[in-house]
Structure formats: C-alpha cells, structure tokens
A = this chain, B = another copy of it.
Amino acid sequence: MSQTGFLQDLFSSIAERGRRLLETGGEPDGNTDLADLAESLYSSLGEASGVAIADRLLRAYEAREPARRLAFFKLLADRFGIDPEEAVAAAQAYRAEPTPEALERLHHAAEPRRQELIRRLNLAPGGTAKLVRMREDLLAALPDHPELRGVDMDFRHLFQSWFNRGFLEARRIDWQTPAAILDKIIRYEAVHEISDWDDLRRRIDPPDRRLYAFFHPRLVDEPLIFVEVALTVAIPATIASILAADREPTDPAEVRTAVFYSISNCQEGLRGVSFGNFLIKQVVEDLRREMPNLKTFVTLSPVPGFAAWLTAERKREGGLVDAEAAAILAGLDTEGWWTDEARARELEPVLMRLAACYLTRARNGAGKPLDPVARFHLGNGARLERINWLGDRGRDGLRRAHGLLVNYLYRLEEIERNHEAYANTGNVAASPAVMRLARSRPSREAQTVTA
C-alpha cells in the first residue's frame, strides 16, 4: 500500500464510483454548466458523490477555453460569498448572548461559502494541483477584474493553510535525483536560465554546488521553490564566475562562503503564499551543520526593477538625476555600451549611486522597498551588503538592471532584529559601504521616493 499512490488511487476510485452514481451521461466538456455543479457540490452530503461532483467540476473547468473560465470566478464572487444580512444578524445575536453556538453561527456566516466549495474541490483526484492552476488563471484575470479580489483572498487563505510550512519537505536535488524532477528544475529556473542537462549537472553535481527545493505531499514531484547555492572562498561579484562551464571546483577545505545565486518560485498559482524565507533559513542551518567552516551566507541577486525605475526617474522633474548625471546616463542608450570601456568607467559611479538610492529609498505604496528581490531578502532579515558593477552581462541582467547584481548578507545573529525592524518600520538594513554610496551626492536626495 504505497502511500501517495494509494490515496491517489483511492480518490480516483471513489470519484469513479460516484461518477457512476451521477449518471451524468458522458465526459464534462467546455459547455458543462459549472453553476449547477458548484451548487450540487456545496450541498452534497454523500462522500463519493461529493468527490465525483468535485472531479466533474474541475474537469469541466479545465475543458473550457481560458476566456470562458472567467465566468466561473464571477460565479464564485457573486453567488458564493456571504449573506450580509445573515452576518449582521449572527453578529448581533452573538453580542446579545455570547454562547459557543452563537459564535459558531457567526463564524460560519462570516465565511464566504466559496471557502467550503474550494475545500471540497480539493478532495477530487489531483484536486490540489488543479486548484493551484485555477488560481493562476484567476491571478491573470485580476488586473482587469478587481472585483475578483475577494475570491483571490479566499484562495490564498486556504492555500496558506494547506501549504503551511509544517507540511513542506526540503530535499536536496543532485545528480542522484530522479530525472522527472530535474526536468522540472530546468523548466522552472527563472533567474539564470539552465540551457541543458549539462548546464544543470554543473549546478548540482560538483562538490561546491548545491540545489535545495521544497515539496508538498499533495503535489507529487512538483517543486514549489528552489534555491541554487555555490560554495566559494569569498563573496562573488559576478554570475559568470559562478556559472562558467570550465571553472575549477573549489576545494571543500577552503570553502568559507555559501552563495544563494538563484531562487525560483515554481508555482505561479501559489503567489503570495510565502515559503522562500523559510527555505533559505533551512538551507543555512543545514549547511552550517554540515560544514562548520562556512562563515558567510550571502546572495548574488538580480535587481529586476532598477532599469524601469531609472527610466522613470530620468524623466521625473526634480528627481535623483541631475543634469550632469542625465548626460552621462544618455550613454546607456547606445547598444553595447558595456563593451566600451571608457563609457562604462564613466557610467559606473552614477549608476552605482543611483542603484544604492533605488534599493535603500525607493518605496512602494505599502512603504516597502520597490524592488521585489530587495523586499524578499530584507523582509527575511538579510542586509544589503554590496552592489556589483556589471555582475551580470546576460541579456536580462542588462535589460532590467544595467548589469548590476547585489549581495544580500544573512547574518544569523542579526536576522531576527533586522526582520522585526523591517516589519515594524520598513527600515532597510544596509552595509556602511552601501549607505555611503547612497548618500554620496547630491544632498537633496535625502527624502524617500515613492513609486
């Protein structure tokens, strides 16, 4: 009775039996009525029929062409929310007489009906994976349909509970890992593309390279997030030094630094359900135990929002870019500027200063750093350690960050303090060098810049 397989089979077999009960005549297709199925599912009492309806609903949903899926989300928004009158009545009843039963009624009245619906969908064969894909559709629709935000909140609420970190399994991925998983690692790498199996092998097989991923028992062989680690002597400044095909592996005895040089979320449908934070801390713990020599835990990270921010800043009246800087920055508009040594030398101090400003002072609406990668690591309690000039000469690196890369430093004794300061006040922990760079000139930049 192999376990995962067993449950899989069982859900299938229950669904199968229920399906016969439904006698629905034929496979669901893109025209199957989802509203009907949703109501049946919500009110079903039987277990087998419930699983069968859930299975049918999910298959009908997937059979629809994407454009027609939106209707299902509208249904969830309109007909599976809560009844405001009932909520008010239940709240008042509880205020009048706060019994456990009244509390339960209130709790129930205040929970959108779609939460129970989604919970029941989750019991269909492969339900969890299908719901994660469904939320991908929802997220794609959200910008044009803000009225669906409430639906998304419920998805995220449930996912947060189902994917709570107590269920996550950290696994080391290496050359002994099944190909089925490695294949997905190649596909999901989102920062520094893995070009082929040889490239993959160079990242997981040598003794100074590691890759760790999180898995969840209901998403078999599907990594949720993974991090690639290089073990080095010193903090690296360029990604090329990490990924070079012909580099010499570092002697384990000389390793002092663990570099997290790529972190990829694999499931778009789990956006906002965070575990990257937790993965990094796990890997830090694990590596420390395994190699007491390791003294420094640091990232080599992209700055994905810098170029877009800079473009806007160059246009902004009274922004951080004065006339002199503007003249120099014009050099960025020449294709291949980075190969022109003189030009690069001229650009370096300006870009470095502006990047330091961007990372330490540019904020989003919530008062947090504008750069998403900065937000992630600073939110974890890391500190902004160093900005590296032309650290990434790849196409994406140049396009999005004019080639800059950043090191965020994880110091165990500071993580908690940094994290709390960041959570409470939005404070950005940065090394003295970065602070100096950000302040270097001119004085009027002192205020926070909100995007």
- A residues bordering B, Cβ < 8 Å? 1, 3, 6-7, 9-10, 13-14, 17-18, 21, 45-49, 81-82, 84-85, 87-88, 90-92, 94-95, 98-100, 103-104, 106-107, 109-112, 119, 122-123, 127-128, 149-150, 153, 161, 164-172, 175-180, 182-183, 196-197, 201, 212, 217-218, 277-278, 281-282, 285-286, 412, 415-416, 419-420, 423-424
| Contact A84 to B88, CB < 8 A, known contacts A153-B103, A170-B1, A176-B178 | no
11 A-B pairs within 8 Å (CB atoms) are namely A3-B169, A3-B171, A7-B168, A7-B169, A18-B416, A45-B424, A82-B94, A99-B150, A167-B167, A177-B179, A183-B201
A98 neighbours in B (Cβ, 8 Å): 81, 84
State the number of copies, please. Answer: 4
**Residue on B nearest A423 in the bound complex, by CB:** B45
Q: Give the distance to chain B from A99, nearest Cβ to Cβ, in Å.
A: 8
| Contact A416 to B7, CB < 8 A, known contacts A87-B106, A98-B84, A109-B110 | no
Bound complex: CA A92 to CA B89 (Å)? 9
The answer to whether B87 touches A94 (Cβ under 8 A) is yes
Bound complex: CA A374 to CA B324 (Å)? 83
A94 neighbours in B (Cβ, 8 Å): 82, 84, 87
A150 neighbours in B (Cβ, 8 Å): 99-100, 103-104
Bound complex: CA A281 to CA B45 (Å)? 17
Bound complex: CA A169 to CA B217 (Å)? 10
The answer to whether B149 touches A282 (Cβ under 8 A) is no
Bound complex: CA A180 to CA B174 (Å)? 9
A90 neighbours in B (Cβ, 8 Å): 91, 110
Bound complex: CA A231 to CA B103 (Å)? 48
A21 neighbours in B (Cβ, 8 Å): 416
A13 neighbours in B (Cβ, 8 Å): 285
The answer to whether A110 touches B91 (Cβ under 8 A) is yes
A161 neighbours in B (Cβ, 8 Å): 161
8 nearest A-B pairs in the assembled complex, by CB-CB distance: A110-B110, A100-B150, A84-B95, A87-B91, A91-B91, A100-B149, A88-B91, A3-B169
**Residue on B nearest A146 in the bound complex, by CB:** B100
The answer to whether B103 touches A285 (Cβ under 8 A) is no
Q: Give the distance to chain B from A84, nearest Cβ to Cβ, in Å.
A: 4
